[in-house]
Amino acid sequence: MTLLAVENLSVGYRTRQGLLKAVDGVSFRLDRGKSLGFVGESGCGKTTIGMALLRLLPANAEVLGGRMLFRDRDLMQLSAAEMRQVRWKDIATIFQAAMNALNPVVRVYDQIREAIETHLINLTPADTAARIENLFALVGIPHKRMHDFPHQYSGGMKQRAVIAMALACHPAVIIADEPTTALDVIVQDQILKEIKTIQDEFHIGLIFISHDIGVVAAVCHDIAVMYAGQIVETGKREEVFERPLHPYTRLLLSSHLSIDHTPTAVNLDSGATPNLMHPPPGCRFYSRCPLAESACADNAPVWIEGSRTHRALCNKSRSRRT
């Protein structure tokens, strides 16, 4: 069952220099119990997509076009009051900076309780307390630490508390934006396993945003590779990582460090990402692409397919065009 369908979404930021189109024509679907990972370098538009879905874009941002359908309701057409009911109850988020996501002067238990009481008004105080205790147990925070303030938690415990808060109202979709940033690799591994276990247990639709290909590979069923505001490749995890179509995806994978693999030389430092106030008419990866030809500078790339579920936005791939 499709929970979320995004169609041709475009988002811009108004600046003193003009309109910067941070997301341009992005489309994807998310099914119940599945996970979609957005991967790409900083500034490619990943977080903007997550904030647009939650209708939490900053004041200078604007959705320029497209639809965001959650259970066939267009989120852009909801009133502010209706959207507040969707947030946390239907679509929750795990923020990138756990310390900034928690109120430093309110005990963690009370912050989770407030979220539950706001959205689940029919629960009794006893039911609410039981749910919070279960959440803390689920994410591995000891019972005796439930009433601590955020500053009394370690980095890993803060991140677990934010995960517990995201789960508080049993949402259908969770948007996890770099949820393991700044954590050491051992704690990162623990957090990723907890997220995956919880997602499988409750059949949650998960959008996982990261610049780390290894992290996305450990969590997600499907992958969307982004570059300069566009999705340039999408497919099943095995398809994208084992048979990449787009030159950018290949370079990202070749730069990934692992124990049994020595990365090849990559050339992402040559060229520059395009100016998204005045994007080029052709391929946005042209100036950095090792396969680029002169025609790529002027001809907009087309979608080509490697399989029914795997495609890329590129004129140079050897797969057949759609």
Quick one: pLDDT at residue 115? Answer: 92
Quick one: pLDDT at residue 74? Answer: 97
Q: How many residues does the chain have?
A: 322
Q: Is the pTM of this model over 0.85?
A: yes
Q: Which of 36, 311, 20, 309 is nearest to 173 (CA)?
A: 36
DSSP code for 91: E
Q: Which of 52, 45, 57 is nearest to 74 (CA)?
A: 52
d(CA 2, CA 190): 29
Q: Where are the domains of the chain?
A: 246-322
Quick one: pLDDT at residue 318? Answer: 45
Helix (H) or strand (E) holding 202: helix 185-202
Can you tell me whether residue 288 is helix, strand or coil? helix
* Phi, psi torsion values for 96, nearest 5 degrees: -65, -45
Quick one: pLDDT at residue 321? Answer: 43
Dihedral of the alpha carbons of 9, 10, 13, 19, in degrees to the nearest 10 = -170
Count of beta carbons in the 10 Å neighbourhood of residue 196 = 16
- Cβ 283 vs Cβ 300: under 8 Å: yes
Q: What is the greatest pairwise CA distance in the chain?
A: 68
Q: Which of 206, 241, 30 is nearest to 233 (CA)?
A: 241
Print pLDDT tens along the chain (322 aa): 899 999 999 999 999 999 999 999 999 999 999 999 999 988 999 999 999 999 999 999 999 999 999 999 999 999 999 999 999 999 999 987 777 889 999 999 999 999 999 999 899 999 999 999 999 998 989 999 999 999 999 988 998 999 999 999 999 999 999 888 767 888 888 888 888 888 988 899 999 999 888 889 989 999 999 999 999 999 999 999 999 999 999 998 987 655 555 555 445 556 678 999 999 999 999 989 988 888 899 999 999 999 999 999 998 754 344 4
Q: Which residues have C-beta within 8 Å of that of residue 139, sequence separation ≥ 6?
A: 160, 161, 163, 164, 167, 194, 198
Segment 229-246, tens digit of pLDDT: 999 999 999 999 999 999
Query: Can you name the residues that pair with 214 across neighbouring β-strands?
Result: none
Dihedral of the alpha carbons of 45, 240, 298, 67, in degrees to the nearest 10 = -40
